[in-house]
């Protein structure tokens, strides 16, 4: 088990009602962590175009996590 900080943005923050939370997890990847958080927050659903960043660097959903990481969950972006 390790401890990571999770941050939610835009609609993810609205549906969880949480901006940031510290969680204990055994997740082997960002994808698995998202899945665990979706179990915790009933209205949080994975979106095919969702993006993830770890420690302020864009990552991919298979990225392995480490103790103390800050994981940012981005819903589908819509700039411009």
Partner 1 sequence: MNFRVISGKIDLRALRDAVGDFENGACVIFEGLVRNHNEGREVLRLEYEVYEPLAVSEGEAILGEAERRFGPLKAACVHRDGLLELGEAAVVVAVSSAHRDESFRACRYIIDEVKHRLPIWKKEHYADGEANWVNCQRCAAHAAG
Judged by CB under 8 A, does residue 1 bind partner 1?
no
Out of 30, 37, 53, 65, the residue judged to bind partner 1 by CB under 8 A:
53
Cβ count within 10 A of residue 79: 3
Judged by CB under 8 A, does residue 47 bind partner 1?
yes
DSSP output for 16-79: HT-SEEEEEE--SSHHHHHHHHHHHSTT----TT-EEEETTEEE-TT----TT-EEEEEPSP--
Minimum CB separation of residue 7 from partner 1 in Å reads: 9
Residues forming the site for partner 1 (CB under 8 A): 9-11, 14-15, 43, 45, 47-49, 51, 53, 56-58, 72, 74-80
């Amino acid at each position: 088990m390790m401890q990571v900080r999770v941050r939610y943005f835009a609609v993810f923050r609205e549906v969880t009602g949480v901006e940031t939370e510290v969680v204990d997890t055994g997740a082997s990847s960002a994808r698995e962590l998202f899945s665990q958080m979706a179990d915790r927050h009933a209205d949080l659903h994975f979106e095919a175009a969702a993006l993830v960043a770890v420690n302020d660097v864009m990552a991919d959903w298979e990225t392995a996590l480490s103790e103390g990481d800050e994981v940012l969950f981005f819903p589908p972006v819509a700039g411009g």
